Amino acid sequence: MASDEQPAGGSLADRISKPEESQPAESTETPKEIDQTDGAPAALGGSDLQEPEYTVEVKLSDLQADPNNPLFSVKNFEDLGLDPRILQGLSAMNFRKPSKIQERALPLLLGNPAKNLVGQSQSGTGKTAAFTLNVLSRIDLSTEQLQKTPQALILAPTRELARQIVGVIQVMGQFLPNLLIGTAVPADSNARPTKLECSVVVGTPGTVTDMIKRRTIAANKLKVLVLDEADNMLDQQGLGDQCIRVKALLPRDIQVVLFSATFPTHVHEYASKFAPNANEITLQHEELTVEGIKQLYLDCANEEEKYQTLVQLYGLLTVGSSIIFVKTRASAVEIERRMVAEGHAVASLTGGIEGSQRDAVIDQFRAGQAKVLITTNVLARGIDVSTVSMVINYDIPEIHQTNPRAPRQADFQTYLHRIGRTGRFGRVGVSISFISNRDEWEMLNQIQKYFNTSIQRIDTKDWDEVEDIIKKTLKNTRAQAGFR
């Protein structure tokens, strides 16, 4: 994951300020009495959204903006002057009224002339729906030529999240005739790139850069650029550089919308340069927690005992669907190999697997054909699979250190994103972290201190008790919300 070091070629902040502006937007939804969906649509096994309300802070880049203006905040989607066919799509997704954050974000997103927006809101608050609404409202589908001309570009860090976003756009835009959506993600090695003729492009930064340069994506008519999981993309050297290169190829007056569940301070500074003069929507830091997740840890003597403990846990993992997060691709492959050899049904998904195979694995997992998925951080962000009830941190997430003698540092944001794959949108979930040495114990303590929480130890000498703790938690209508 991200590192605090400065990449070669100058600081990321300096490199962002050279190409031109940009910034994407997002938003959030929440009513308790009404089921809404966000992330993957129901057809892809996504979750109903039943979130508590949050305190929302708004920072307007234009000091002349009037907070008393009736459109500063909206209580109904109808107040936004949306195309009735888009309202029909919202209704099909069970969106009855804007959430607390959407109330503030949507008027800022949809205003004319278009303004940049930086939105920080945790997973499950309706941000995907918010930026999709903005995209569908700004594209022009009045002629066949425009229908085949890219007018909005949405970037995501992984092909899995890009495909999920395409699903949301398809459902929300299902009543818009001639809406064409193109996906620009890494192709299999033997696939030939074809020209994307569509009005909305969803893709990953490297592939989009390559396709624009090869002229298989026409960029000259783009009106909106959205970065989902923006902190992750701007803070990683490879993705950050690619996002900067993409932006440099786009029209200078494009609306830039950045959305993420977390914005560390240094990344927020980069975001301000990537999306200059942006309006900002934020949740207060203490509210960036995951409700309904019981956090546990297991003590293991060494790496081999970690694996044996995982096998012991296997029967409990298949109660619902589970994701096992490991540090490296090699670990994922080895664990899958050993577990399959012992007759366990598991699948692994890492960045090393070719595109179509990755799609097949995630589709199997969404459909419940594979109950246990072993992965690296490629799936830590944004993926919404409603049946996931348990997350295993086989390796504690840590920040990559260039100095091998430096003390190991837990990656708090990745931990938050990982365990957020369970307990989605009001459901109950369990996260279990494996500890096998002093460094991992120190990193677990760092996580507890950072989030001011207590992670409960469970004793593997008594598996009946382990099973009892986990099954009781999953049977509760709401897990102990100790993650505060």
User: Residue 170: in which H helix or E strand, if any?
Assistant: helix 159-172
- Residue 460 confidence (pLDDT) above 50: yes
Place of tokens 């930086």: 118
Helix, strand, coil percentages (3-state) for the chain, rounded to 5, are 40, 15, 45
What does the alpha-carbon distance between residue 455 and residue 382 come to, in Å, rounded to a whole number?
Answer: 23
- Residue 185 confidence (pLDDT) above 50: yes
pTM over 0.85: no
Contact 199, 145 (CB under 8 A): no
Q: How confident is the model at residue 75 (pLDDT cuts 50, 70, 90)?
A: confident
What does the alpha-carbon distance between residue 24 and residue 250 come to, in Å, rounded to a whole number?
Answer: 14
Q: How confident is the model at residue 257 (pLDDT cuts 50, 70, 90)?
A: very high
What does the alpha-carbon distance between residue 146 and residue 166 come to, in Å, rounded to a whole number?
Answer: 19
pLDDT per position as a tens digit, 197-226: 999 999 988 899 999 999 999 999 999 999
Would you identify the CATH topology of the domain 56-286?
Answer: Rossmann fold (3.40.50)
Q: How confident is the model at residue 227 (pLDDT cuts 50, 70, 90)?
A: very high
Residue 98 is predicted with a pLDDT of: 85
* Assigned token pair, 265: 């301070």
Place of tokens 């996580």: 447
Question: What SS3 class is residue 140?
Answer: coil
Beta bridge partners of 392: 324, 432
* Assigned token pair, 478: 């709401």
Residue 237 is predicted with a pLDDT of: 61
- Residue 390 confidence (pLDDT) above 90: no
Residues contacting residue 247 through CB under 8 Å, at least 6 positions apart: 19, 20, 21, 22, 225, 256, 274
Mean local confidence (pLDDT), 266-270? 78
Q: In the CATH scheme, what architecture does the domain 293-481 have?
A: 3-Layer(aba) Sandwich (3.40)
What does the alpha-carbon distance between residue 245 and residue 216 come to, in Å, rounded to a whole number?
Answer: 16
39 closest CA partner among 50, 30, 48, 31: 48
Residue 483 is predicted with a pLDDT of: 39
Say how many C-beta atoms besides its own lie within 10 A of residue 438's C-beta. Answer: 9
Residue 152 is predicted with a pLDDT of: 97
For 191, which DSSP code? P
Contact 92, 169 (CB under 8 A): no
Residue 133 is predicted with a pLDDT of: 93
For CATH 3.40.50.300, the residue range(s) in the chain are 56-286, 293-481
Rounded (5°) CA angle 249-255-261? 100
Determine if the peptide bond prior to 19 is cis (ω within 30°). no
Say how many C-beta atoms besides its own lie within 10 A of residue 92's C-beta. Answer: 15
What does the alpha-carbon distance between residue 475 and residue 159 come to, in Å, rounded to a whole number?
Answer: 33
- Residue 352 confidence (pLDDT) above 80: no
Relative orientation angle of helices 100-110 and 127-138, to the nearest 10 degrees: 20
What does the alpha-carbon distance between residue 146 and residue 426 come to, in Å, rounded to a whole number?
Answer: 41
What does the alpha-carbon distance between residue 248 and residue 262 come to, in Å, rounded to a whole number?
Answer: 25
User: Residue 324: in which H helix or E strand, if any?
Assistant: strand 321-325
134 closest CA partner among 161, 116, 149: 116
Q: How confident is the model at residue 39 (pLDDT cuts 50, 70, 90)?
A: low
- Residue 8 confidence (pLDDT) above 50: no
DSSP per position, 54-115: --EEEE-S-TT--TTSTTSS-SSGGGGT--HHHHHHHHHTT--S--HHHHHHHHHHH-SS--
Of 29-38, 225-234, 416-425, the poorest mean pLDDT is in 29-38
Mean local confidence (pLDDT), 119-130? 77
Mean local confidence (pLDDT), 275-295? 70
pLDDT per position as a tens digit, 402-439: 788 888 999 888 888 788 776 554 556 788 999 999 99
101 closest CA partner among 39, 26, 15, 196: 26
- Residue 259 confidence (pLDDT) above 80: yes
Residue 2 exposed, middle or buried by CB count within 10 Å (0-12, 13-18, 19+): buried
Contact 89, 5 (CB under 8 A): no
